[in-house]
């Protein structure tokens, strides 16, 4: 569970009017919801938004993101 909002870390949550989405993998690793800019830092597969951020899918490094407010 996220210590800030008490919701499961593996949920995809949106904040700032949908401009940021949480990454389930980043959130799980850091123990708090971690949000990245949406949709730029996620990307699409056909018409479906990717759940994990680009960094988690490619093992790359990603800007810090923002943690659960
Ligand atoms: Zn949270
Ligand atoms: Zn991620």
| Distance from the alpha carbon of residue 28 to the mean position of ligand 2, in angstroms | 9
Q: Cα–Cα distance between 5 and 10 in angstroms, integer?
A: 13
* Each residue's pLDDT tens digit, 48-57: 999 999 999 9
pLDDT above 70 covers a percentage of the chain that reads: 99
* Each residue's pLDDT tens digit, 16-28: 999 999 999 999 9
Q: Cα–Cα distance between 21 and 1 in angstroms, integer?
A: 17
The domain segmentation of the chain, as residue ranges, is: 14-67
| Distance from the alpha carbon of residue 30 to the mean position of ligand 2, in angstroms | 10
Region 36-60: mean pLDDT is 92
């Amino acid at each position: 569970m996220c210590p800030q909002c008490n919701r499961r870390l593996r949920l995809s949550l949106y904040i700032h009017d949908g401009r940021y989405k949480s990454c389930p993998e980043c959130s799980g690793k850091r123990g708090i919801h971690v949000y990245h800019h949406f949709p730029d830092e996620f990307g699409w597969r056909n018409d479906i938004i990717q759940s994990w951020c680009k960094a988690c899918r490619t093992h790359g490094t990603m800007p810090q993101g923002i943690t659960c407010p």
